[in-house]
Structure 1
């Protein structure tokens, strides 16, 4: 049976209770992780350090790597991929909750499909107020993912498991604020790496209107412009698809927050 590393990154603005719940969800998996690698992206708050220390006592396979200063997620994850001991790496966000059988299902899938480099799955979005409960599914096959990537991120990043060797050969994560994973998937798909998404809900993902608002506006669109240009240069999109994606991205990111939230509920998510 292949060994699994879980890769996480935390920085000072994160909620200590969310981190505690996230770590706990990894400790109670039906298939135990062989390593949890937590990147401390710069100095943390005392409360976050207390949670990390608490779980280091509970879990002898929790390894911590402290960055001297905040380098942001892309660089932190790139370092984490390099440091992970095992070839199968499961990404996990420090404010989300893994379903109990997540590692068991993904580990078994990757062992049964050695041709697959990256696998993800569905998420169930929720918020602290209890007013959101909806599922975000993703395209399943390589062909569907190759079409989907032209307009939207084809994987729920917090659900993915990938092969370390494949990530490193493809160039690893790069500094690309809010789009680190989308950029990496685009590069990998253009090089022929194999992607899949499982039907299963693998993670309960915390969301809020604040997140929607942060991922909106002109500054975020400028970053997306760079991504769309990268995709076109990689040959993922032809000229018509490139222009269509640029226009579509502009429209979505410039929507008022309430309209974007309505669109998510009506068209992009399945409420349950």
Structure 2
């Protein structure tokens, strides 16, 4: 292991079917982190390893909240990067570190979201029944800073509709995703050159390689949408999303004028003032409720 990575706590489990990975950043809030950890440790399905990667320096309060919440739970491993390397690097580290556990499923989790208590069980049950599905997401509820529900995001359930959507938007809610480990054994990883939209690019590459996707209709996660959400998206993220849409058309060999027009239109909207972006986002979320 690299000297820039320190193991703060190693899980005391030598074999599991299920690995959950979460990254922790300096901007995260202690109270939301506690809720996120509790939602995983109290899952109805409890045979898993929970890998938490501290991505660069964080406050003492955050670390205290983290180690207090995980307590002596033997399923939890904590690792720390000496400097911020980004979500892709954190996820790739969790994937590679946990390979010796011979897991079958890799779950994503974010430090400000809340997983439904049945999330792991429902996604694992689905994948055990549908062996052709390699990547499984779900719908989600959007919540505000006070954990009040403010929206709902529903995405296509079946592979063909997910494939059709990928030309205009990311077709999976990344924090809800479960990926079979055979995807990673085939050599695929998150692109560490990307500081955002890394999931979108990964889905495109996996779709080109022939992997199958699905989304569960039931919301299995509460996604935190904070007041500065529209500002945080930023031009760089918008530009990467534009590039992802172009890449999807190229790699999946499906050039359409409407896809190109949509990509350019979204990029233009994202450069407008926050109130306009907020309005456009509200319309988009309304469409995804159905």
Query: Aligned equivalents of 1:228 and 1:24: distance in 2?
Result: 36
Question: Which residue pairs with 1:48 in the alignment?
Answer: 62
Cα gap change, 1:116 to 1:12, in 2 (>3 Å): same
The alpha-carbon deviation at position 147 of structure 1 amounts to 0.7
The alpha-carbon deviation at position 67 of structure 1 amounts to 1.6
Query: Aligned equivalents of 2:189 and 2:172: distance in 1?
Result: 16
The alpha-carbon deviation at position 192 of structure 1 amounts to 1.0
Query: Aligned equivalents of 1:130 and 1:99: distance in 2?
Result: 13
The alpha-carbon deviation at position 264 of structure 1 amounts to 2.7
The runs of 5 or more residues in structure 1 that have no matched partner are: none
* Contact 2:242–2:264 under 8 Å retained in 1: no
Is 1:88 equivalent to 2:102 in the alignment? no
Question: Which residue pairs with 1:230 in the alignment?
Answer: 247
Deviations 1:61-81 (A, max 9, x none): 101122221101111111111
Query: Aligned equivalents of 1:43 and 1:232: distance in 2?
Result: 39
- Match 1:111 to one of 128, 133, 150: 128
Cα gap change, 1:139 to 1:55, in 2 (>3 Å): same
Query: Aligned equivalents of 2:38 and 2:257: distance in 1?
Result: 47
Aligned 1:190-269 pairs, distance under 5 A: 190-217=208-235, 219-238=236-255, 240=257, 243-269=260-286
Deviations 1:190-244 (A, max 9, x none): 1110000001111011102312211143x33332343234323313531535522
Secondary structure (helix, strand or coil) at the match of 1:215 reads helix
Query: Aligned equivalents of 1:236 and 1:24: distance in 2?
Result: 44
Query: Aligned equivalents of 2:61 and 2:253: distance in 1?
Result: 44
Is 1:60 equivalent to 2:78 in the alignment? no
* TM-score under structure 2 length normalisation: 0.86
Query: Aligned equivalents of 1:209 and 1:17: distance in 2?
Result: 17
* Contact 1:209–1:257 under 8 Å retained in 2: no
Secondary structure (helix, strand or coil) at the match of 2:228 reads helix
Is 1:149 equivalent to 2:166 in the alignment? yes
* Contact 2:143–2:151 under 8 Å retained in 1: yes
Query: Aligned equivalents of 1:27 and 1:148: distance in 2?
Result: 33
Query: Aligned equivalents of 1:130 and 1:15: distance in 2?
Result: 13
Question: Which residue pairs with 1:5 in the alignment?
Answer: 19
* Contact 1:120–1:198 under 8 Å retained in 2: yes
* Contact 1:5–1:88 under 8 Å retained in 2: yes
Cα gap change, 1:18 to 1:177, in 2 (>3 Å): same
The alpha-carbon deviation at position 174 of structure 1 amounts to 0.7
Secondary structure (helix, strand or coil) at the match of 1:192 reads coil
Stretch moving more, 194-203 or 121-130: 121-130
Question: Which residue pairs with 2:42 in the alignment?
Answer: 28
Count of residue pairs brought into register by the alignment: 269
